[in-house]
C-alpha cells in the first residue's frame, strides 16, 4: 500500500490542556513577555478576563498532531495557517478536530483543515496545514 492511501477519509479528534507548565515552557522557549500574556491587570484593562495565552501554543499542539497522531510518521509540514477566533486562557481544555481536505497523490501531498474548540465548544482557532508524505 502506498503511504498516501493511509490518509483516505482520515479524521481525528485530540484533546489538549493549556496548563501552567505549557504556558511557562512556551514563554521560556519564545522569550515573549508581552504584557497581554504576562500581566493580569494589563490583560483586564484590554477587556479580557485574565491573561491571554500565547496563540502559538496552539501551533505546538498542531505540530504534535502532525508529528505524532497521523497514520504514519513519514511526514513533514510544508505550509500552515491559523486564524485566531477567540482568546485562550490558562487551564482551558481544548479539543482539536483535524481532517483531510484534499489528497494530491501525484506529489504525495495531503491538505488538512482543523479547528480548536474550547470547553464551551466554541471555536478558538481554525486553519489549514499541508504535509508532504515520504514514501521510502
Coil, strand or helix at 4: helix
The count of other CB atoms within 10 Å of the CB of residue 11 is: 10
Q: What is the rounded CA–CA span in Å between residue 13 and residue 5?
A: 20
| Model pTM score | 0.95
**In tens digits, what is the pLDDT along the chain, a chain of 136 residues?**
689 999 999 999 999 999 999 999 999 999 999 999 999 999 999 999 999 999 999 999 999 999 999 999 999 999 999 999 999 999 999 999 999 999 999 999 999 999 999 999 999 999 999 999 998 7
Amino acid at each position: 500500500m502506498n503511504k498516501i492511501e493511509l490518509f483516505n477519509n482520515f479524521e481525528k479528534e485530540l484533546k489538549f490542556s493549556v496548563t501552567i507548565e505549557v504556558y511557562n515552557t512556551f514563554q521560556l522557549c519564545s522569550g515573549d513577555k508581552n504584557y497581554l500574556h504576562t500581566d493580569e491587570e494589563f490583560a483586564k484593562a484590554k477587556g479580557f478576563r485574565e491573561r491571554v495565552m500565547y496563540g502559538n501554543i496552539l501551533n505546538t499542539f498542531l505540530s504534535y498532531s502532525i508529528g505524532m497522531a497521523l497514520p504514519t510518521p513519514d511526514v513533514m509540514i510544508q505550509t500552515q495557517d491559523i486564524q485566531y477566533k477567540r482568546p485562550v486562557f490558562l487551564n482551558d481544555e481544548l479539543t482539536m478536530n483535524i481532517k483531510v481536505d484534499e489528497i494530491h497523490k501525484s506529489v504525495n501531498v495531503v491538505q488538512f483543515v482543523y479547528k480548536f474548540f474550547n470547553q464551551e465548544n466554541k471555536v478558538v482557532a481554525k486553519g489549514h496545514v499541508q504535509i508532504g508524505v515520504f514514501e521510502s
